[in-house]
Amino acid sequence: MEHTTYSVGLDIGTTKIVAIIGKENEYGKIEVLGTGRSKSLGVHRGVVNNITQTITSIQQAVEQAESDSGMKIGSVVVGIAGQHIRSLQHSDYITRPNSEEVINEEDLDKLCNQVYKLVMLPGEEIIHVLPQEYKVDGQAEIKQPIGMYGGRLEANFHVVVGQVSSIKNIGRCIKSAGLDLGNITLEPLASSDAVLSQEEKEAGVALIDIGGGTTDLAIFKDGIIRHTSVIPFGGNIITDDIKEGCSIIEKQAELLKIKFGSAWPGENKDNEIVSIPGLRGREPKEITLKNLSKIIHARVVEIVEQVYVEIKNYGHEDPKKKLIAGIVLTGGGSQLNHLKQLVEYITGMDTRIGYPNEHLAGDSEEEIASPLYATAVGLLMNAIKNGNSDRLFEGEQEEAEMVLEDYADAKTHGGQNERKTVFDKWSEKLKDFLDNAE
């Protein structure tokens, strides 16, 4: 019986919620089958603060994606961000009982599991444990120790931590919207999958994802994640400044920013003026574009400088840690005019805008290849990679009935059973926890 296997990424952002359905084609590229987008109500700075509104927004995006693709959404991979996210470096080791046997995946799992037992601050939980380099019997800088002999296995880890309540709230929203939570992944990691090349990750690169409520940072060097950070400012704070500075309503401020906004005040002449209709028969307002870009410039400089502090904290000025590939900007906020030039001016680093089109099939809609959808595309890639998939059997297209593939089957490909990662196990524990929290 013919069937279509597909996966779903769900980006719960501060300004928009995007559901994206896709599958991998025979060339290893991602074919987008359907998308849905709704205005995000109930999310502030990347954190859910109104469960009911968030559920409604998720359902709207999901319904739109389902009608666009003719498929039923079952399991989704969701992104997590917000100012409660922090990261830390941690080293740990295990002593192997038999150094005559080669190191295998179980040893790596045991080492990772040990890190998950770290005592966190009250109310915090580990989201990701990302191994950086391994050491075997004191031999350093090993990227893949499997197959080697050794008694003592050490590793440096990049540990991402978040608030339990925020993670539970996302789980509750997904469940109440009638969906299964397949996986939770850190949003800057998802965006980096979508827009960065392997060469950039090797050379050293900082990904800055400017969203509506937060600006996410992920730094890679030698192909390994080195630093992550979530800064609680994004495009919405620029819109708020325009609203206050020009005494206009939010909708008009957002349109002004998108149509005429520039991060570089010198670009506009003094006599360039835009007229905004007054409210309810009041006189129209005249705003000079120079003033508009001054307001935007002040706030953007503040955001970029905060990100640059994080890049310096990582140790960018150390020659060994130098980010040769510079900065990649993505997210909706990266579409602001002259932002690339301003970032280069402040940081002195090469900068480009990141589009998620490298991994998409050639016939994908142009809109999906926008920086706006970088996180959603990255979450879809994560769902495909980790086997979080649903199936649609031939002949069931009319009813769009779903058979949710058994999780273990999703992990099995061509008769070989892939190991469950520590993170998959954590996801399952989280799902059980949410089920019991009814």
Q: Output Rg (C-alpha) for the chain, integer angstroms.
A: 23
Closest CA to 176 of 279, 287, 62, 81: 62
Q: What is 1-83+163-196+358-438's CATH number?
A: 3.30.420.40
Q: Which residues pair with 16 in a beta bridge?
A: 39
Query: Coil, strand or helix: which one is 421?
Result: coil
Asked whether 343 and 306 are in contact (CB, 8 A), the reply is no
Please tell me the predicted confidence (pLDDT) of residue 436.
Answer: 61
Closest CA to 48 of 160, 173, 161, 163: 173
For 198-354, give the CATH class: alpha beta
Domain with CATH 3.30.420.40 in the chain: 1-83+163-196+358-438, 198-354
Domain with CATH 3.30.1490.110 in the chain: 86-162
Please tell me the predicted confidence (pLDDT) of residue 3.
Answer: 54
Q: Buried b vs exposed e over 289-312: b needs ≥16 C-beta within 10 Å?
A: bbbbbebbbebbeebbeebbebbe
Closest CA to 312 of 349, 352, 353: 349
Q: Which residues of the chain have pLDDT under 70?
A: 1-4, 267-268, 388-438
Asked whether 194 and 207 are in contact (CB, 8 A), the reply is no
Asked whether 47 and 79 are in contact (CB, 8 A), the reply is no
Please tell me the predicted confidence (pLDDT) of residue 425.
Answer: 56
Considering the domain delimited by 86-162, tell me its CATH architecture: 2-Layer Sandwich (3.30)
Asked whether 25 and 190 are in contact (CB, 8 A), the reply is no
Place of tokens 């997590």: 80
Structure tokens at 316: 């960018």
Place of tokens 């929290």: 437
Q: Give the chain's length.
A: 438
Cβ-based burial of 27 (10 A; exposed 0-12, middle 13-18, buried ≥19): exposed
Structure tokens at 178: 């009638």
234 CA to centre of own chain: 14
